[in-house]
Each structure stands twice: as C-alpha cells, then as structure tokens.
Structure 1
Amino acid sequence: MLQFITRQNKLMKQKHNKKHYKWIALSNTTLGVLMASLNNNIILISLPAIFRGMNVDPLSANGASYMLWMLMGFTVVTATLLVSFGRISDIYGRVRLYNLGFGIFTAASILLYLTPGNGSNGIILMILFRLLQGVGAGFLFSNSTAILTDAFSSKERGMAMGLNQIAGIGGSLLGLVIGGVLAEIDWRLVFLVSVPVGLFGTIWAYIKLKEQSVPDKTQKIDWLGNSTFAVGLTLLLLALTYGIMPYGSSKMGWGNPFVILGISLGLLLLIVFVFIERKVKMPMFHLELFKNRAFAFGNLSLFISSIARGGLQFMLIIWLQGIWLPLHGYSFESTPLWAGIYMLPMMIGFFIMGPLCGKLSDQYGARFFATGGMLFSALGFILLTLLPANFGYNIFIVILLILGCGMGMFAAPNTTAIMNSVPASQRGATSGMRSTFQNTGMALSMTLYFAIIILGLAHNLPSILYSGLINVGVPSTMAQQISNMPPTSALFAAFLGYNPMGALIDQQTLSTIPSATKTIILGNHFFPLTIAPAVMSSLRLAFYISAVMSAIAAVASYMRGKQYVHDES
C-alpha cells in the first residue's frame, strides 16, 4: 500500500512538473523567436542611420551591394542552415543546440554594437557579424517549434504555436518601429537592444529547459547531403540576389555570368541532394515524409504563401516612404520611423487571430483555418490593387487588418499540422525543413518584387521623370541627364529615407537650376507625384501576383486532408 501511494505521488509530481515545464518552454522559445525576428527587420528601417554612422554612401555602386547584403545576408544564411541544424539537433539534443543558438546570437549582437572602424571595411565587418547572427538564428528557428511540440500534447500545440508565431510576425513588425526610434537616438543601439534579452534568454534556457526527447547519438551526420543542400541553396539565393543588381550597362544583373552559373549550379546541387537522400542509409532528411498529405501539402502551402507575402512589408514601405508619407507632410528623413508605425494594424490582426485559430485548430484541425487565412490574404492583396497612390488611411487600416488576420489564421494551424504529422525522432529536422521553406520563400519573394519594381521603373521612370522636370522649367539637356539615373538609385533613395532628388542630382547641377525650380524639385511633392504612376503599376502587378499565389496556397492547404496526428505512443 505504501509503495502504491509513493508511486502515485511520484506520478502526480511528474505530471505537475510537465505541466509547469511546458509554459517555461513556451515563454523561452517565444522570447528567442521574438529576438531573432525583431533583428531580422530592425535593419530594414535602420539602414540609413547605420550607413551614415559608418560613413558609407548606400547609393554608390558598392554601397548598393553592401545594402543588399545587410538586408538579405541574414535570411540567406538562416535559410540554408535550418535543415542541417534541425537534423543535428535530433542527434545531439534540441535544447542543447537551441541554447547554443541563443549564445551565438547574443555574441554576434555584441560584436555588431562594438564594430570598429568605418567606411567599406567597417561595413564588411558588420556584414560578417550579421551573418554570424544568422547562424544563431538558425539554431533558434530550427529548434523552437520542435521544443514546443515535445513539451505540449497534440491537443494544446495549436494554442502554443499561435502564441509563438505571434512573436515571429509581431517581432518583424515591431522591429520596424523599434529600429526607427533607436536609429534616431544612436544607430548602435539597434544592435545593443538584443543583448540584455539575449543574455537573459541564454541563462534562462540553460537553467530551465530540459530535453523532452531522447537524442539518438547512434545516428550519423549525412555530410554529403548537408553539404549539397547548404551549398546549392546558398548559391541559388546569392545568384538571385545579385540578379536584381545592375551589371555593366544593364539595369539588372540577369546577364551576369556569376548569376547564370550560380542559378544553374545551385539547382543542380539541390537535384543531387534529392538523389543522395534517397540512397544514403542515414539521410539528413527523410524524403518519404512527403508521402504524408498533411506534411507535404502543409509545407507546399507554407512555401507558396511565403512567396506571396514575403515581400509585402518591403512593398508597403516603398509605397509609404516614397509616395504617401511625403505627400502627407512628413520629411523624407522621418519616413522610415512613420512607415513602421502606420503598418502596426497588420500586427494587431495577427495578434487577434493567431492564438485564437491556433487553439481552435487543436480541436477542429488546420484545414479550415489555414485555407481561410490564405483566402483572406488573397482578398487583402486584391483590395491593395484598388487603392490610389494617395489613399485614405482608414481604408488602408481595414486592408492591413484583413492581411494580418489572414496571416494569423494560417500560421499557427499550419505549423501545428506539419509538426503533428511526423514522428518524434524527426521533429528537429522537420522544424528545420518547415523554416527553410518559409525563409527560402521569403527570400524568393524579396527577389521577385525587387525585380518587378526595378523593371517597372526602368521602363516607365525615364519618360515620366523627364516630362515632370520639363514641366517645372528644367532645361531639356539637364532633364535628360537626370531622368536617366538608375532605377535602383531612385528605389533605394526612397527606401532609405533620402530625398531622392537631392541625393541623386549632384550639387554642381543643382547650383545651375533657378531657385524657384530647385525649391519645387526638392520639395515633398515633386518626386512622389512624379514617380507615382511608375511605382503604382509595379506595385499593382506585385499585389496581383501575391493574390494569385495566396489563392494557390489556399488550394494546397485544403488538399492536406482531415486532421492527422502521428502516433505518439
């Protein structure tokens, strides 16, 4: 009798400890995802202050390359390492490598804050530290959902994923506001903000997080599969990134031999990776998981939806900073901060629907909510195409709320369904694969929308800008010279919060223009009103593509079938 009571007390204590532990796991992984996501987008708004602080002109040829590396390098590194890190975590312990990610990310943040020197050398060093941050984020992203899946039962995972996904999306939007505020004070604070959070999270994770799964150290690392996947995806994403940059006399770099070779070799290596994984005894990722409908269509819809919405924030920032905010009296220098503030309604929509739909999906499955979320997103993109360049903000709020709600309805239920569909021994690699699809889709989205808007500007901007300059009294020869400026320069100037006309017309040319004409050209209205037709045609095309991609993602999501949970016994 005494033994029975002792055993019952022990079981009750274990049950209580597990119930307590799951909230520790949720709060710590949410903190880690929030920190990494916030830093991914904090750069988006802070780049002007960072480049000014480092005495580098982002509109120069080298400056544009540095800017793209600062923007895209983090995502490229993270996307290429996620599956490998997830698989290694299955072998050596998810919590152990998650803790390592926290430490690496914090150390990289300190190095970024302390980056010595300035000019090109300083920026290159900063890019390297930023890539190191991406390595730390790779460990965090690849293990956070796996740790949550281990800690929560299948009846509670949707709610947990919903709260965790809030940190991911919310962090990316908060980064826009926090980056704008801190950059106004001191650009180095943009990197320092992560340090206290990182130190606390690293220590807390080390003390409190415990392995809930049994690491399988009998497994061997698939070095050949890891190498071909990482190198292939890296080459492909880098080539696509350089494809949107000018090359020689061309507006874009698709004729660059490096771009052609990188895309070809990258795709070839990814094809080789598939053959390797089918033959090797202990593969990096078990491709037979794609035979499972819930897993296959969940990841397919995630990838397509990431392409649809990955460039959304960038498109809206271009619209707000380059056109809408200046027309409403904001100086070009202040537009980065206000662009982040005016986009907050999208975060509110996600905050409402993410946890709610995640919790409901635990009971009813992901199919209805994820499919509905993509249809909501398609509706939001269609509504964006109907807005004029100088829209009314109230309708813009409604559209942002629709887009945010759509993202919230999709994210948590879809993630939960993917993680529920695989055996416990594969959760690390699955988490990495899921995050790879998401990050690769977002990188492809940025490349696609960069290309659309640059091609649109290259085709339409010269004639529109020439006519605008002639109308305000600029001599024909001078107007021709100014209107032939590279479209990337106009795009990046608006994006970085510079007055594009002041930044792109040299001072000698400006000094020859009559004062009244100069006042008009450098004013808040000339550039936005002049470029609006060219920019809006490109934006509408991008939004139409996103609407179609969202609709396809909705179909893929519906194809996942009924609720499925892999046998956990």
Structure 2
Amino acid sequence: MGVFIATVDGSIVIISLPAIFRGIGLDPLAPGNISYLLWMILGYLLVSAVLVVALGRLGDMFGRVRMYNMGFAIFAAASIALSLDPFMGAPGALWLIGWRVVQAFGGAMLTGNSAAIITDAFPANQRGTALGINQITALAGQFIGLLAGGFLAVIDWHAVFWVSVPIGVLGTIWSYRSLRETRTPQPARIDWVGTLTFTTGTGALLAAITYGIQPYGGHATGWTSPTVLGGLGLGLALLIVFCIAETRIRQPMFRLGLFKVRAFAAGNIAALLTAVARGGMQFMLIIWLQGIWLPLHGYDFEDTPLWAGIYLLPLTFGFLVAGPIAGFLSDRFGARLFATGGLVLVVLAFLGLLALPVNFPYPLFALLLFVSGAGQGMFSAPNTSAIMGAVPAADRGVASGMRSTFQNSGTSLSIGVFFSLMIVGLASSLPTTLTAGLTAQGVPESTARSIAELPPVSTLFAAFLGDNPIAHLLGPSGVLTTLPPEHVAALTGKEFFPQLVSGPFHQGLLTVFGAAAIMATIAALASLLRGRNA
C-alpha cells in the first residue's frame, strides 16, 4: 500500500495537469509559467531521488518501521494540504509544488524502507516473491496513476489529491498498529558531510537537467545557459567530494563498498538504465497518443489525456502479469535468467515501436506495450530480490535507499534527456513545416514565421496538456478572427496539427526510441554479468 500510493502520486498529476491548471486559473504555457509545469511534474521525482538514500540510512540507524510509519503520516498530511489549495494563479501553483515536495519526503520514507522491511521479514526462499509483488506494485502504480489522473480530473481537479487522503490516513493507522521492528536498530553518528554533499549535489544536477529542457536565449533548449551549466558543474563537483568523503568516514551514509558485490552493482546499473528508458518511453507515448494518434482517430484534444491513459493499459497489464510470476520463479531458479530475459523483451518492444508508422494500427501497438510491460515486470522483481539479497542484513536500509535512488534518478534523468532529444529533433524541421502549413491556410507569413520560431517545447507541452496546439499558438495573435470560417475550421480541427507534425515528430521518435533501445541493451548486458548465483 505504501509504495503503491507513493508511486501513483508520482505520476497522477501528469495526465491531470490541464484540469489542475484550469482549476487554479493559470496558463502553464504562458511566458514564464513553463517552470510551474515542470516543477509540478519533476519536483516530486527530484525530492524522491535525492532523499531516499539518507532516509534509508536513517532507517538502519533508528528503526526502519519507525521511519516507514512516520513517512505514511507525513504523506497523509501533505495529501490533505494539497486537496485544500486556497489560492489561485501563481500562488496556487506554488502551494501545490511546495506540498508536493513535502508529500515526496513522506513517499521517500516509504519507498526507502519498504524493501528493507520485507527483506527482513521473509526467508530467502520467499523473498523474491514478496519483493516482486512490492516492486511490481510500485512500478504498476506509475502507470495506474496516469489512468487514475485522467478519470479523477474529469470529476474535479481536487479529486486528484483527495484519492491519496483515505489511503494515507488508513495506511498510517494500519502501519502504526501492525508493523514491528524485526531487527535491532544500529545507532550511529549521522554522516552530515555525506548527507549534505549527496543531497545538494544530486539536487543541483537534477534541477539543472530540469531547466535544460526550457528554452534559453535563441536556443530551443537551455543546455547552454550559465545557470544550467553552473548547476551541472556544481552537482558533479559535490558528488565527487561525496565519493571521496564516503571512503574516509567511519560510518558513511552511502555504502560505496557495496558496489564491490557484483550482483548489487550490476543490478543497480541495470535498474538505472531501465528507469531512464522506461521514463522516456512513458512520456513519448503520452505525447504520441495525445498530440497525433488520438486526434487523428476523432478524439477531441481536451479528451486525449483520459484516453491516453486508457490506451496505455496493456503496459500495466504486462507488469501485473509477469512481475509476481517472475519473482516467484526467481526464488527457485535465480534472478539472472528472468531479469536479463525481461530486458531482451524490452529491447524487442522498442525495436517494434521504431518500426511502427505514426498512425499505427492499435492492436499491434497494444501488443508491443504488453511485451514491454511484461519484460519490465520480468526484470524488476528478480532484480530487486537479487540486489537486496546480496547485501548484509545491517545494510539493507541503505541498500534499499540506494536502489530507489537509482530508479528515481533514472526517471528524472529520462525527462531531461528524452525531452531534449525530441526538442532538438523538432527544432530542425518543425519551423519550416509549421510556416508552410500555416501560410497554406491563409495565415500571414509574418505571423506564421513568428509562431514557427517559438521554442518547440511550447508545441510539445501543448499536446502533452491536451490543448489544440494551433489554436493555442494562434489565439493571442488574433489572426483566427480575420480568416475565413473554413480556414479557421481547418486550422483548429482535429487533423491539421497531427498531419502537420507527424513527419518531424516521427524523426524525433526514431531518435528517442533508438536511444532507449541502446540503454535497455546495455542494461541487459549488465544484468547478464551479475553472476550465476544472483
């Protein structure tokens, strides 16, 4: 229950962002407002990635159950605050972002200690099944969050946050009443140097990647911005200091020595690369469905967020079918066969997606989603069991936190990496395509050129939010009021934008899914090298 609701809330706002921003009266695509949009999505993921190791280590020191229970209480309180946002406009967005950060802190306490608690509680011959159920529940929560966000946003944007309140309150009461420590905590000094350098360094690095997506000056992305470059440099420097310090501190927060265990190192490398590939796939599929495929098949742009979640269900089914089975079988036959075989399926699914046309037949698309979900389920459960079973009992809290950090960091990295790849790909061909398409419908060339020169991120996020991108881009110019009705109908119809951008978008998809396939292949090789007994 804990990891499920924590991961559901990591993704539930993605589909429901249009309703949330309409509810607080804020246009997220207006100049200066894109940062609100990004931090609404990435703030939760960033905090989860940064703090989960420290909170897992504190669980080793002061009691894993104690930290887990406290996490449920914090999560429930933040969920209540989110559902009662009293402000409108920018203050309303800042309220939501701030409390999402607090909610992520509670969620990190849950995910950072849950795997360690389960590993303590189950014998080795049942551990794979137990951790498999836990891990697949967590990963399935990411995709169920997409579907839940679409349904709840139709009812009321507050309902997106209400759903966490009863689960958070019930979970808090249940965990305090039923969970007991199964091992004696190991009191130790808090590693302040390691904690501060790791959290600040990781935070600076991931924040810089977040701002790298946004345009800077005349560039489509912000990777040349002094702020972004400074954040990347500061983050890397602090992480180098962190690695040096952790080798010299008697009781370090981050057990670098655990990477000497082959199964632990290989499993975490594979998990990081898989998380990057999975996160990129998730966001690109949403944009593909919402911006092109669903409108071409008659769906209104404002309805596409909900239907995108529905059409992605085969991915979740694949997780739910394969995960527990692979976890159970890995207890008998080892993790390597299932984890590596699962990643091979993921690679094949990416290659299949590469071969699809933009306007694909859905049965084939659904089959590829199911194969990808099943492959990720086959990988995740045995991989988690192998990682947790390879470390000493006293280090399971910090090992669980390290595993979660790699997974959460991979999701955050994927957004920066894959959005940048897509934006760069669109920037090379979208301006010419937009100019030609708009002028053909009577839009003055000066207006068409000014729109075509806007950063592609605005067009990308408009599709992502379920807006008609052409109507959104032309609206402020007032051009639509001067054009003949048939041209206005064509420009703002369901097919004009998808047909216009399908070529440039497909080129971007080839780059994104090609990179994801390479990452999944490297992850499969890392998994294969984990050792025969792991």
The TM-score, its normalising length taken from structure 2, stands at 0.98
Give the aligned partner of residue 207 of structure 2: 238
Name which one, 1 or 2, has greater alpha-carbon Rg.
Answer: 1
Asked whether 1:544 is paired with 2:533, we answer no
Q: Identify which range, 306-315 or 144-153, moves more after superposition.
A: 306-315
Rounded to whole Å, the distance in 1 between the matches of 2:255 and 2:366 is 43
Deviation at 1:285, TM superposition (A): 2.0
Superposed displacement of residue 375, structure 1: 0.7
Instruction: Output the amino acid matched with 2:510.
Output: R
- How far 1:250 moved relative to its partner? 2.2
Tell me whether 1:515 sits opposite 2:459 in the alignment: no
Q: Which amino acid aligns with 2:483?
A: I
For 1:177 and 1:213, how far apart are their aligned partners in 2? 39
Q: Distance in 2 between matches of 1:486 and 1:252?
A: 8
Mapped contact 2:136–2:380 kept (Cα < 8 A): no
8 Å CA contact retained: 2:280, 2:516: no
C-alpha distance in structure 2 between counterparts of 1:446 and 1:106, whole Å: 27
Which of these residues, 383, 387, 391, is aligned with residue 418 of structure 1?
387
Match for residue 70 of structure 1?
A: 40
Contact 2:246 2:252 in 1 (8 A): yes
Q: Conserved in 2, the CA contact under 8 Å of 1:371 and 1:554?
A: yes
Inter-partner Cα distance in structure 2 for 1:489 and 1:180:
22
User: Is it true that 1:527 corresponds to 2:494 in the alignment?
Assistant: no
1:428 maps to 397
Contact (CA 8 Å) 1:474, 1:517: kept in 2 or not? no
Task: Give the drift of 1:212.
Answer: 0.7
Q: How does 1:257-272 map to 2 (within 5 A)?
A: 257-272=226-241
Q: Is the CA contact (8 Å cut-off) linking 1:464 and 1:530 kept in structure 2? A: yes
C-alpha separation between the residues in 2 aligned to 1:234 and 1:81? Answer: 9
Pick aligned residue for 1:387 from 340, 343, 356: 356
Aligned to 1:489: 458
User: Are 1:417 and 1:563, in contact at CA under 8 Å, matched by a contact in 2?
Assistant: no
Separation in 2 of the partners of 1:189 and 1:68? 21
Deviates more, 1:118-127 or 1:304-313: 304-313
What residue number does 2:71 align with?
101
Give 1:480 shift.
2.1
* 1:320 positional shift: 0.0
3-state DSSP class of the match of 1:523? coil
Tell whether 2:225 aligns with 1:256. Answer: yes
Deviation at 1:532, TM superposition (A): 0.7
| 2:387 equivalent to 1:452 | no
Q: Give the Å deviation of 1:465.
A: 1.1
- Stretch moving more, 168-177 or 100-109: 168-177
| Distance apart, 1:510 and its partner CA | 1.2
5 Å-filtered alignment, 1:274-293, equals 274-293=243-262
1:159 partnered with 2:129: yes
- Counting only pairs closer than 5 Å after superposition, residues 85-100 of structure 1 correspond to structure 2 as 85-100=55-70
Matching of residue 354 in structure 1 with residue 326 in structure 2:
no
User: Is the counterpart of residue 194 in structure 1 residue 194 in structure 2?
Assistant: no
Give 1:509 deviation, angstroms. 1.5
Q: CA deviation at 1:256?
A: 1.5
Cα pair 1:336 1:496 within 8 Å, conserved: yes
2:158 is the counterpart of 1:171:
no
For residues 515-534 of structure 1, the C-alpha deviation after alignment (integer angstroms, 9 at most, x for no partner) is: 11111000000000001111
Q: Is 1:225 equivalent to 2:183 in the alignment? A: no
Q: Are residue 554 (structure 1) and residue 515 (structure 2) matched?
A: no
Which residue is equivalent to 1:342? 311
Match of 1:476 in 2: 445
Contact 2:87 2:95 in 1 (8 A): no
Post-superposition CA distance 1:40-95 (Å, at most 9, x none): 11100010000001111111122211000000000000100011001111000000
Residue 300 (structure 1) shift: 1.1
Greater than 6 Å deviation, 4+ residue runs = none
Partner of 1:403: 372
For 1:490, the aligned partner's letter is: T
3-state DSSP class of the match of 1:216?
coil
Q: What is the distance in 2 between the residues matched to 1:185 and 1:468?
A: 37
Alpha-carbon separation, structure 1, partners of 2:252 and 2:507: 46
Give the Å deviation of 1:248: 2.6
Deviations 1:458-495 (A, max 9, x none): 11111011122233343433332332232111001100
Contact 2:327 2:382 (8 Å CA) reproduced: yes
Deviation for aligned residue 1:554:
0.5
- SS of equivalent residue, structure 1 residue 506: helix
Q: Distance in 2 between matches of 1:140 and 1:62?
A: 34
Residue 48 of structure 1: aligned partner: 18
Corresponding residue for 1:123?
93
TM-score by length of 1: 0.92
Query: Could you tell me which residue of structure 2 aligns to residue 149 of structure 1?
Result: 119
Q: In the alignment, is the contact (CA less than 8 A) between 2:61 and 2:186 conserved in 1?
A: yes
Structure 2: distance between partners of 1:474 and 1:215: 69
Q: Which runs of 5+ in 1 are unaligned?
A: 1-30, 565-569
> Is the CA contact 1:254–1:260 (under 8 Å) kept in the aligned structure 2?
yes
Kindly provide the amino acid, as one letter, of the partner of residue 444 in structure 1. L
Q: Secondary structure at the match of 2:222?
A: coil
CA positional deviation for 1:246: 1.1
> Separation in 2 of the partners of 1:228 and 1:66?
27
- Specify the code of the residue in structure 2 equivalent to 1:179: G
Which residue does the alignment assign to 2:302? 333
